[in-house]
A and B are shown apart, each in its own frame.
Chain A
Amino acid sequence: MHRNVIFRDNGDRARQVVPYTTQEPVGSPDPLKLYEYLENYEAKTNGAAMAFAHNGNLANGIMFPVDAQYTGREIDEFYVEQRAKWEPIYEVTQIKGDGEAHPFLSPDDEFADYGTWDLGNLDLSEAKTDDMLAGEYAREALKNGLLLEERLGTNPYQFGMIGATDSHNSLAAVEEENFFGKHSGYEPNAERLSHPFFESDNGTLYAWQMVSSGLAAVWAKDNTRASLFDAMDRKEVYATTGPRMTVRFFGGYDFSENDLRRRDVAAVGYAKGVPMGANLTEPEEGQAPSFLVAALRDPIGANLDRVQVIKGWLDADGNTHEKVYDVAWSDNRVADASGKIPAVGSTVDVSSATWANTIGAPELITVWTDPDFDPNQRAFYYARVLEIPTPPWYLYDVVKFGVDMPEGAPSEQQERAYTSPIWYSPKG
């Protein structure tokens, strides 16, 4: 399991410590030891630091445990407090797979299968089994966090969501038409698609399966290291799989249709509610939370298909649930009898790897009120924004280099953004 460490401070403080490693005896793979190191850093330098994990999807079940810690010890109050304190965000999407949701865990979510890497662990030395998935994917972790909060008083998985490249070449080139690969070995060339990224008796993961993703968006007051760190610490962040979408998400009890006419969504949002990453305030009797969500597409990217709100909650019997609501969509589509919004269609031309913004909408905005709100149930809400279908990065390679489409590779995909959730906890 990997964790990234971010310092709020400059070199004058950060250089006072040696980077922590997982190597025994000085380092350790136990996250609690890393937290100890971070605690020492803050005590020694009066600075601030945080850690965040990535690639839960390759952790074979141990990224978001519910019963046993990494060391095998039972998950206790100390563990959940420490994890909540030091890991405010999670890297939910990157080149080595997308980790928001998995179709096995979310069978009712037709968009759950995006950039799924589920053959095994990182080097495929151990195969994946279905029972591991619950400990790997962000949505399931958000749900299990509610459960652990009920049990131990703190939600260890109350994290914001960011994306990152994890590229080893210092390039943020994760748009489909500029994908520069995981590392220098996968820079654009005619052979890269068919090269095995990882191979073992448990299967082969081909290089075309790299996901051209993602980016971290941060709602900070200033473009300074300290301001960005503080925004990440309060989880006012969102992830995209590459496009530079602008996404706002606020929760409160007073949002109305009139707010949609406003051009200053943020002013209304902060005045009447809380932003992504925060906790809802106490409702008055009979109130249900409403959410102001607005998304603007990448200025040079694809139009938007729809905005969804994903709700997870814990019922009175201690069971977790999830539901995906379509809340705003393009082209005046009408829901079918089952309440489903039909697909937006596709403009992807496979022979030239092109698409057109003749479908979808440049921006979507709405106020959505939870129709199933129960003030006695712990819950979280986050927004997912879907683009219209566009060609995946390997289709650009196919056209550019004149090579064959890899076997089993889809010829289109829908890029997306995931906001950090807004949480609701019953009083008492």
Chain B
Amino acid sequence: MIARILKEPLVHFLLIGGLIFATFSVQDDTPPAPDRDQIVITQADLATLSAQFEAAWKRQPQPDELNAMTQELIREKVLVRAALELGMDQNDAVINRRLSQKMEFFAASIAEAIEPQDGELEAFYQTNATDYQIAPQFALNQIYLGQKSTPETVATTLSALKEGEDPTELGQPTLLPARLDLTQSRALDSAFGTGFAAALSPLSMDEWVGPVKSGYGVHLVQITDKSPSTLPPLDQVADRVLSDWQSAKREEVQEQYYQTLRRGYEVTLPQTDGGS
């Protein structure tokens, strides 16, 4: 039970929050003497600039390039500081979005550190089994009878097949494949038009049947193999399950975090009198 509680994200927040609070309370909180004229560029700042440049250009910056980037950094710091003093960060949609995003990222980074417990992935995989199902597959032979066909043509072709005639000599020659190995429904639909795979579902195995409609017209079809929709074992889809579990966890933690923060505020909405 204790172990369970220690794993709760909410507990992590309270602990982290407490820690931050404690750190600040033991610090000397008399404000430092305001020194607004100071902008300090450290060696670490320069190293960061060089690294950024190298990532883009695959080489170290020349001294004049580093100098230009440093001037740009100073410019940014001056403008940001002046803007803060003028209160320009207030009521700005872009800044508000960025700050709330940073809070969401903060919650997400905590979620990423959480590992699934024994059996937790298995349970997640069972609950969301439909996400991992493999669509039905069919293997088939087909004869194309043209854009339109008559019941007579269908009947004579079927009886010719019964008498053992070579299927590749029947119907119209076509660029469509005469024979397909086990193929997923989606691939069948993209080759023959939407709805073709669905039309195959009720057909029985091994015998020639028709007419079956496709985007191109009328076919006779012989299903030679099929594999129903199946749920692959967990170890075959473990990577996907883990990644889905992680994103579900992330959303859960973000929501808990928000609710925790939300409880610290009293929100007042405008009065509605129904008249305006």
Q: Which residues of B contact A261 (CB under 8 A)?
A: 173
Contacts of B58 in A (CB 8 A): 16-18
Decide if B176 is an interface residue (CB 8 Å cutoff): yes
Q: Closest A residue to B168 by CB, please name it.
A: A263
List 6 additional contacts besides A263-B173, A299-B191; criterion CB under 8 Å. Answer: A248-B175, A263-B168, A294-B175, A299-B190, A299-B194, A299-B215
Q: Does B136 contact A (CB under 8 A)?
A: no
A 279-318 binary contact with B (CB < 8 Å = 1; else 0): 0000000000000001111011000000000000000000
Residues of B with C-beta under 8 A to A295: 175
Which residues of chain A from 142 to 167 have any CB-CB distance to chain B below 8 Å in the complex?
none
Interface positions, chain B 169-227, Cβ under 8 Å from A, are 173-178, 190-194, 214-217
Q: Does B57 contact A (CB under 8 A)?
A: yes
Partner of B147, one of A263, A265, A362, A365: A362
Name 8 interchain pairs, CB-CB below 8 A, sorted by A.
A17-B58, A18-B56, A263-B168, A263-B174, A265-B175, A299-B192, A300-B193, A361-B147
B160 to chain A, nearest CB (A): 17
Chain A residue contacts of B57, Cβ below 8 A:
18
| A 347-367 to B, binary, CB cutoff 8 A, 1 in contact else 0 | 000000000010001110100
Task: Knowing A17-B58, A18-B57, A263-B168 are in contact, say whether A365-B175 is a contact too (CB < 8 A).
Answer: yes
Q: Which of B174, B193, B217 has the most CB of A within 10 A?
A: B174
Q: Is A260 in the interface zone, CB < 8 Å from B? A: yes
- 3 closest Cβ contacts across the A-B interface? A299-B193, A299-B215, A296-B175
Contact of B215 among A248, A260, A262, A300 (CB under 8 A): A300
Max count, chain A CB within 10 A of own CB: residue among B56, B176, B190, B191: B176
Q: Is A346 an interface residue (CB 8 A)?
A: no
Task: Report the Cα distance A47→B231, complex, angstroms.
Answer: 41
A369 interfacial by beta-carbon distance below 8 Å: no
In contact, B174 and A363 (Cβ under 8 angstroms):
yes
A361 CA to B216 CA, complexed, in Å: 9
B18 to A: closest C-beta gap in Å: 44
In the bound complex, CA of A265 to CA of B57 (Å)? 50
Taking the complex as formed, is A246 at the interface, i.e. its CB lies under 8 A from any CB of chain B?
A: yes
Q: Mark A253-279, 1 if CB is under 8 A from B, else 0.
A: 000000011110100000000000000
User: B147 contacts A357, CB within 8 Å?
Assistant: yes
B216 and A362 within 8 A (CB): yes
How far, in Å, is B53 (CB) from chain A's closest CB?
12
Q: B175 touches which one: A16, A357, A363 (CB < 8 A)?
A: A363
- Chain A residues proximal to chain B, CB less than 8 Å: 16-18, 246, 248, 260-263, 265, 294-297, 299-300, 357, 361-363, 365
Partner of B173, one of A18, A246, A248, A260: A260
Task: Tell me whether A299 and B216 are in contact in the complex, defined as CB-CB below 8 angstroms, given that A16-B58, A263-B178 are known contacts.
Answer: yes
Interface string of B237-262 (1 = CB under 8 A from A): 00000000000000000000000000
In the docked arrangement, what's the CA distance between A199 and B168, Å?
A: 58
Assuming the contacts A16-B58, A17-B58, A263-B168, asked whether A296 and B176 have C-beta atoms less than 8 A apart, the reply is yes
A81 to B57 alpha-carbon distance, docked (Å): 31
Q: In the complex the two chains form, what is the Cα distance from A299 to B194 in whole Å?
A: 8
A294 CA / B193 CA spacing, docked (Å): 19
Determine how close the nearest CB of chain A comes to the CB of B30; give it in whole angstroms: 51
A300 near B217 (CB under 8 angstroms)?
no
Q: Are A300 and B178 in contact (CB under 8 A)?
A: no
Specify the chain A residue showing the minimal Cβ separation from B58: A18
What residue of chain B has the Cβ atom nearest to residue A16's Cβ? B58
- Chain A CB within 10 Å — which of B56, B173, B177, B194 has the most? B173
| Most chain A C-beta atoms within 10 Å of own C-beta, residue among B57, B216, B217 | B216
In chain B, positions 111-167 with a C-beta closer than 8 Å to chain A are 147
Q: CA of A64 to CA of B195 in the docked complex: distance in angstroms?
A: 46
The distance from the CB of A423 to the nearest CB of chain B, in whole angstroms, is 25
* Nearest B residue to A297, CB-CB: B216
Report how far A370 CA is from B132 CA in the complex, Å.
Answer: 55
Cα-based distance from A296 to B56 in the complex (angstroms) = 46
Query: How far, in angstroms, from A262 to B217 measured CA to CA in the complex?
Result: 19
Contact partners of A299 in chain B: CB under 8 A: 190-194, 214-216
Note all chain B residues with C-beta closer than 8 A to A357: 147
Binary contact readout B35-76 vs A (1 if CB under 8 angstroms, 0 otherwise)? 000000000000000000000111000000000000000000
A266's nearest neighbour on chain B, judged by CB, is: B175
CB of B185 to closest CB in A, whole Å: 14
- What's the least CB distance linking A329 to chain B, in Å? 16
- Please measure, in the bound complex, the distance between the C-alpha atom of A198 and the C-alpha atom of B24, giving whole angstroms: 59
A358's nearest neighbour on chain B, judged by CB, is B147
**Contacting residues, chain A, for B147 (C-beta < 8 A):** 357, 361-362
Which A residue's beta carbon lies closest to that of B216?
Answer: A362
A333 CB to closest chain B CB (Å) equals 17
